[in-house]
């Protein structure tokens, strides 16, 4: 890039601000909207507040909410949500079924017929094969009330723990990382920490494209305080890396060695914080056996900068420099996302980031915190917190814990023993069991697995085999090819519900306009479906989403996720509140686990920080050795293929693909390839390049760029005409079961 880092910093912040300023008038007729209705952006886990402009019963404009954390700003995706996406030509407005099996066409039918078609089939499967033969596959984009309700219907109503969803593909390693390091899920920090941090350790996150408004906040922090340092650890030189003081490209999949190497330097150079460790931490190894701090120090002492260089390719002096910057800064924040989570050792990588904070005491102060960035707008609030995954129950409870099951059975007023004691199938196992015929019917909500599961050649047959009931808004969703019944869902501001974003902030999207055509809020669909399948009406006595919120809020009162103070009325008035928030007068919490800030830490607790989610009250430093990725490059498949996002497209592009301004920027998939590699392979810009893995091969147009280091190629996964996931394996992290979408081995050659 020809511009200086400083110019880029200014430019990127300005671009975000510009989109916020330009957009309010978009789509509005002369005179402007009649009213503005408060909500949350439909897209990423940044969770920006929006105001939807309404005129004549239609959404005509959108602008940033000045009272939410984004202070009125939106990136281009949020700013272009209205009207193109809502009123897209291919919106689904009527229920549809396939009367003649998978090969027949979808036909429009009435709601009664569609519901009857689905519920009869689910009932028959349960009667013949038992509740373990049915499943719910949900989404971090579904509303909290929807996920809570589906979880309750399946686990307590149908007695099936087969409740999972796309957060398994995304946040599962972060969840397991928080659980094992601190005892409970969800971060202790918030976005406010960005404004106080003096060192940003950004690892495996392309913040500028995936969380643009947070990137803008980081860029502003850097501009306002030039001493602030930014380290970006990523094998690609992304836009995020362009504002870094130090970009550290390295061999993909070797983060564990790098992070242990930083710990080595911290001890070697006496940059550790013994009093913090002594007071607030314990040490564990392997599956959880206790170890001593001396054992841990001996363990990391093997990760000398020279050894780390051999494994990672990072110069030894850079390992030392990073460790010093991390430890010596007045306040260091770590930010990470899929480069860490979507890995066969994703949980360990999370643990090792937490380790760095625990050994230096860079935690529990403004600006000093680990903060994992959440991808989807409601993976945290909707799925993680409500426990809508195969191994979880609400508010941090576990399916396999009898006490937890009993607590939920008592609260839900079902007999003890109702919830099955064995966890259900996590995503990859769920689709494996569908292919094997053990799971015979699935309810898919707000996700598009036929494009986004790993190893698609293995899993699309599962969708062909099982009975698929699907909620959807747009006709171009790939999964519709396999749907037996389609429920048209009211989209975003056509209904109401809560999203919970990265920073434990719950915020309400209010209904601004009526559902389009015959589409319906999914709460209503789930309630009708449950009654049709024979779930006891007493279990689901709700009239609307607000009733469900009231139950969930009351339930939270019992434990460490307490947000009883976040009433529907408050959510209508305020632009998001961060839990813990135990009563209606509480303003919400910034520094979780910190006495004086977190209301769940007793005021008279002897320690300033109390990790109350952990049985010892302390955090855990883990001994985790380096391990290579599942499928590293080798002599036969000499390149590493990685996949991810581009700023203008959201996942499978069913929404962003409808917005001309966004679609023009990235109309189709491509492969990024380093100039050195391109030269060796005689590839020019735009040439068709074949990527061939052990599973499949596919051609992409080449983009020759130094973004990728030599030996690495990158493809985005938004393009349904190039299902890049056909190339991928389905290896998962042993603990979190999250797939390793970031690394597989591939051949690269020019199409003949």
Told to check if 81 binds ligand MGD by CB under 6 A, we report: no
Classify each residue of 632-663 as buried b or exposed e, where b means 16 or more C-beta atoms within 10 Å of its C-beta.
ebeeebebbbbbbbbbbbbbbbbbbbbbeebb
Closest approach, Cβ 221 to ligand SF4, in A, equals 16
The nearest distance, CB 139 to ligand SF4, in angstroms, is 16
Give the separation between CA 595 and CA 699, rounded to whole angstroms. Answer: 56
Q: Does the protein bind ligand SF4 through residue 235 (CB under 6 A)?
A: no
In the complex, what is the shortest distance from the CB of residue 99 to ligand SF4, in angstroms, rounded to a whole number? Answer: 39
φ/ψ of residue 323, rounded to 5:
-60, -40
- Shortest Cβ distance from residue 521 to ligand MGD (Å)? 9
Residue 303 binds ligand SF4, judged by CB under 6 A? no
Stretch that binds ligand MGD, among 112-120, 361-369, 416-424, 638-646 (CB under 6 A): 638-646
Query: Around 568, how many Cα atoms within 13 Å sit in the side-chain half-sphere?
Result: 15
Q: What are the respective helix, strand and coil percentages of the chain, to the nearest 5?
A: 35, 20, 45
Q: Which residues contact 461 (CB under 8 A, 6 or more apart)?
A: 435
Contact between 593 and ligand MGD per CB under 6 A: no
The nearest distance, CB 472 to ligand MGD, in angstroms, is 5
**CB 445 within 8 Å of CB 150:** yes
Q: In 3-state terms, what secondary structure has residue 507? A: strand
The verdict on 261 binding ligand SF4 (CB under 6 A) reads: no
Query: Does residue number 473 form part of the binding site for ligand MGD (CB under 6 A)?
Result: yes
| Contact window for ligand MGD (CB under 6 A) among 21-29, 87-95, 135-143, 151-159 | 135-143
If one asks whether residue 144 binds ligand MGD (CB under 6 A), the answer comes out as: no
198 interface partner picked from ligand SF4, ligand MGD, none, CB below 5 to 8 A per type: none
The rounded distance, in Å, linking the Cα atoms of 460 and 695 is 14
Name 698's bridge partners: 691
Q: Which is nearer to ligand MGD, 359 or 708 (CB)?
A: 708
CA 192, CA 199: separation in Å to the nearest integer?
Answer: 14
Q: Report the relative pairing of strands 58-64 and 96-97 from DSSP bridges.
A: unpaired
Question: Strand order of the sheet with strand 229-233?
Answer: 246-248, 229-233, 199-203, 332-336, 369-372
Q: Which stretch binds ligand SF4 (CB under 6 A): 37-45, 289-297, 412-420, 440-448?
A: 37-45
Q: Does 489 help bind ligand MGD (rule: CB under 6 A)?
A: yes
Q: Which of 26, 37, 41, 468 binds ligand SF4 (CB under 6 A)?
A: 41
Please select the residue that binds ligand SF4; options are 27, 39, 72, 78, rule is CB under 6 A. 78
Q: Residue number with the shortest CB distance to ligand SF4?
A: 78
Under 8 Å between Cβ of 131 and 161: no
x/- letters, 328..367, toward ligand MGD (CB under 6 A): ---------xxxx-x-------------------------
- Pairing assessment for the beta strands 712-716 and 639-644 based on DSSP bridges: parallel
Residues 6+ apart with CB under 8 A from 84: 658, 659, 660
Residue 164 binds ligand MGD, judged by CB under 6 A: no
* Residue 48 CB, nearest approach to ligand SF4 (Å): 3
Please tell me whether residue 46 binds ligand SF4 under the rule CB under 6 A. yes
**Can you list the alpha helix ranges (DSSP code H) found in 329-484?**
338-341, 346-360, 402-411, 427-435, 449-452, 456-465
Report if residue 68 touches ligand MGD, rule: CB under 6 A.
no
Contact string 226-265 vs ligand MGD (x = CB under 6 A): -------xxxx-x-------------xx-x----------
Question: Residue 227: CA atoms inside 13 Å, Cβ hemisphere, count?
Answer: 8
From ligand MGD, ligand SF4, none, interface partner of 644 (C-beta below 5 to 8 A by class): ligand MGD
Q: Where do we find the tokens 């015929």?
A: 437
Q: Is 177 exposed, middle or buried (0-12, 13-18, 19+ CB in 10 A)?
A: buried
E strand intervals along 591-647: 619-623, 639-644
Q: How far is the CB of 132 from ligand SF4 (least distance, A)?
A: 37
CB 475 within 8 A of CB 92: yes
- Candidate residues 150, 156, 203, 213; the one interacting with ligand SF4 per rule CB under 6 A: 213
Q: Is 449 in the site for ligand MGD (CB under 6 A)?
A: yes
CB of 494 to ligand MGD, least distance (A): 8
* Calpha distance 30→527 (Å, rounded): 41
Residue 41 binds what, of ligand SF4, ligand MGD, none (CB under 5 to 8 Å, by partner type)?
ligand SF4
By the rule CB under 6 A, 312 interacts with ligand SF4: no
Contacted entry of ligand MGD, ligand SF4, none for residue 204, CB cut-off 5 to 8 Å set by kind? ligand MGD
CB-based contact 369:191 (threshold 8 Å)? no
In whole angstroms, the minimum distance from the beta carbon of 340 to ligand MGD comes to 6
DSSP 240: G
- Residue 736 CA to residue 187 CA, distance in Å, equals 17
From the CB of 198, what's the least distance to ligand MGD, in Å? 22
* Residue 459 touches ligand MGD, criterion: CB under 6 A: no
Residues that bind ligand SF4 (CB under 6 A): 41, 43-44, 46-48, 70, 74-75, 77-78, 211-213
Residues that bind ligand MGD (CB under 6 A): 44, 139-141, 166, 169-170, 203-206, 209-210, 233-236, 238, 252-253, 255, 337-340, 342, 375-376, 445-449, 452, 471-474, 477, 489, 491-492, 522, 642-645, 647, 649-652, 654-655, 717, 724-725, 741-742
């Amino acid at each position: 890039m020809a511009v200086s880092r400083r110019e880029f910093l200014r430019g990127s912040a300005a671009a975000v601000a510009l989109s916020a300023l330009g957009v309010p008038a978009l789509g509005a007729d002369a005179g402007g909207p009649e009213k503005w209705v408060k909500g949350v952006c439909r897209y990423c886990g940044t969770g920006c507040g929006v105001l939807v402009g309404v005129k004549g019963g239609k959404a005509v404009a959108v602008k940033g909410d000045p009272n939410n954390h984004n202070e009125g700003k939106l990136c281009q995706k949020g700013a272009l949500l209205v009207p193109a996406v809502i009123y897209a030509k291919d919106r689904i407005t009527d229920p549809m079924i396939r009367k003649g099996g998978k090969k027949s066409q979808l036909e429009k039918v009435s709601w009664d017929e569609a519901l009857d078609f689905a519920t009869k089939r689910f009932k028959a499967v349960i009667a013949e094969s038992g509740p373990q033969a049915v499943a719910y596959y949900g989404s971090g984009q579904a509303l909290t009330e929807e996920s809570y309700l589906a979880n309750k219907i399946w686990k307590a109503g149908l007695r099936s723990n087969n409740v999972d969803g796309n957060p398994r593909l995304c946040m599962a390693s972060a969840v397991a990382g928080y659980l094992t390091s601190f005892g409970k899920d969800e971060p202790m920090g918030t976005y406010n920490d960005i404004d106080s941090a003096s060192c940003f350790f950004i690892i495996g996150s392309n913040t500028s494209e995936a969380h643009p408004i947070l990137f803008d906040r980081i860029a502003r922090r850097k501009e306002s305080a030039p001493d602030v340092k930014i380290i970006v650890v990523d094998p690609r030189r992304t836009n995020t890396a362009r504002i870094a003081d130090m970009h550290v490209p390295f061999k993909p999949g070797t983060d564990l060695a790098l992070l242990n190497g930083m710990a080595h330097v911290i001890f070697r150079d006496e940059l550790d914080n013994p009093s913090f460790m002594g007071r607030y931490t314990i040490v564990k190894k392997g599956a959880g056996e206790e170890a001593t701090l001396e054992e841990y120090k001996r363990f990391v002492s093997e990760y000398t900068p020279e050894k780390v260089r051999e494994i990672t390719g990072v110069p030894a002096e850079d390992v030392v420099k990073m460790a010093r910057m991390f430890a010596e800064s007045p306040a260091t924040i770590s930010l990470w996302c899929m480069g860490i989570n979507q890995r066969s050792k994703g949980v360990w990588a999370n643990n090792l980031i937490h380790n760095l904070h625990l050994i230096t005491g860079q935690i529990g102060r403004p600006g000093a915190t680990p903060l994992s960035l959440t991808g989807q707008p409601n993976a945290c609030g909707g799925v993680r917190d409500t426990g809508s995954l195969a191994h979880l129950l609400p508010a941090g409870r576990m399916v396999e814990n009898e006490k937890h099951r009993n607590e939920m059975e008592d609260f839900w007023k079902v007999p003890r023993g109702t919830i099955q004691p064995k966890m259900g199938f996590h995503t990859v196992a769920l689709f494996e069991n569908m292919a094997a015929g053990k799971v015979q019917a699935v309810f898919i909500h707000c996700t598009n697995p036929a494009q986004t599961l790993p190893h698609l050649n293995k899993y699309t047959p599962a969708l062909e085999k099982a009975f698929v009931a699907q909620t959807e808004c747009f006709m171009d969703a790939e999964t519709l090819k396999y749907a037996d019944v389609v429920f048209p869902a009211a989209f975003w501001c056509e209904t109401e519900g809560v999203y919970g974003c990265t920073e434990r902030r719950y915020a309400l999207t209010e209904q601004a306009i009526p559902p389009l055509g015959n589409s319906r809020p999914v709460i209503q669909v789930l309630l009708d479906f449950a009654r049709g399948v024979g779930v006891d009406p007493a279990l689901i006595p709700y009239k609307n989403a607000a009733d469900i919120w009231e139950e969930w809020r009351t339930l939270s009162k019992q434990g460490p996720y307490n947000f009883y103070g976040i009433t529907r009325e408050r959510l209508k008035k305020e632009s998001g509140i961060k839990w813990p928030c135990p009563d209606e007068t509480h303003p919400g919490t910034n520094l979780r686990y910190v006495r004086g800030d977190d209301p769940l830490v007793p005021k008279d607790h002897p320690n300033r920080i109390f990790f109350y989610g952990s049985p010892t009250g302390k955090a855990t430093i883990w001994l985790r050795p380096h391990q290579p990725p599942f499928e590293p490059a080798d002599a036969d498949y000499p390149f590493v293929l990685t996949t991810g996002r581009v700023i203008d497209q959201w996942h499978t592009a069913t929404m962003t693909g409808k917005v001309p301004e966004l679609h023009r920027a990235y109309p189709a998939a491509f492969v990024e390839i380093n100039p050195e590699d391109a030269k060796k392979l005689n590839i020019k810009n735009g040439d068709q390049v074949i990527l061939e893995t052990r599973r499949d091969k596919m051609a992409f147009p080449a983009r020759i760029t130094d973004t990728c280091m030599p030996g690495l190629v990158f493809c985005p996964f938004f393009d349904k005409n190039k299902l890049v996931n056909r190339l991928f394996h389905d290896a998962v992290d042993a603990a979190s079961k999250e797939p390793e979408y970031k690394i597989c081995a591939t051949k690269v050659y020019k199409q003949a």
